[in-house]
Amino acid sequence: MKKIFGFWRKKGNGSVSERPGDDNIPKHVAIIMDGNGRWARKLGLPRIVGHRNGMKAVKRATIAADELGISVLTLYAFSTENWKRPKEEVDFLMSLPQEFLALELEELIQKNVRVRMMGHTEELPEHTISAMEEAIERTKNNTGLILNFALNYGSHREITECVKDIAREVKEGKIQPEEITQDMITSGLLTGELPDPDLLIRTGGELRLSNFMLWQTAYSELWFTDLYWPEFGREQLFAAVLEYQRRTRRYGGLS
């Protein structure tokens, strides 16, 4: 038996024994996709092989989320801190959106998936931005699952920029400081029109948020697994949602 935080599963690639019921499906699931490099190292492979296999896990998770009727799937693809990695690895990571969408965009369109991106585009290479813009444009009228890529995203920067915007409005006399509300901050974030995540999943065995959606996940249910991201698939998403359905969300109150 191999431990996955919150439940046990048998080794192997068999399907989960129980499919989540249709009631109480989380509307928004966010995933910190961690462990590509360690998965590759475990197998004696270059780190970039781990990132490429992580792309396959993105497809599996997207298909499973769509199957369950999840409305939004947000994937932490590249953080504002990931620029600290070796240039060769960063360049490869910046090529993955183009590679993934070249392979999968037509199927995403057929499945009525709408591609979205949140992050700070100033530092991104033109080819990365172009690939994302094409996917966003071609899927903008789709009405199914929103596949939201967090690319060059960092919550500290996001909140800081939101505060600056509000400060400008105060300076210009458009609002008074006492008129600032939580809803105003929420709507000023990069997730403005999206619901907050109901469920946050992190792979790779680490137990931290890593500057990911710190405001939005204030009351998210957290689910951690020691499996590396390239090992993640339908079974693991189903297990996380099943665990979510067993929990009682009290938001500081009583059940």
Average pLDDT along the chain, 255 residues, taken 10 residues at a time: 40 58 96 98 97 97 98 98 97 96 97 98 96 98 98 98 98 98 97 96 98 98 98 97 93 78
Beta pairing partners, 224: 202
What angle, rounded to 10 degrees, do the helices at 47-68 and 87-110 form?
Answer: 30
Q: Taking a C-beta distance cutoff of 8 angstroms, is the pair 220, 198 a contact? A: yes
Q: Taking a C-beta distance cutoff of 8 angstroms, is the pair 21, 245 a contact? A: yes
Determine the pLDDT at residue 79: 98
- pTM of the entire structure? 0.92
Determine the pLDDT at residue 5: 44
DSSP per position, 170-197: HHTTSS-GGG--HHHHHHHSTTTTSPPP
Q: Does the annotation mark 34 as catalytic?
A: yes
Report domain extents, the chain: 25-154+195-246
| Residue (of 32, 146, 29) closest to 79 by Cα position | 32
Q: Does the annotation mark 23 as catalytic?
A: no
Determine the pLDDT at residue 255: 67
Q: CATH classification of 25-154+195-246 is 3.40.1180.10, yes or no?
A: yes
Q: Taking a C-beta distance cutoff of 8 angstroms, is the pair 147, 115 a contact? A: yes
Determine the pLDDT at residue 193: 93
Determine the pLDDT at residue 16: 52
Options 82, 142, 211, 226, the catalytic residue: 82
Options 22, 23, 34, 142, the catalytic residue: 34
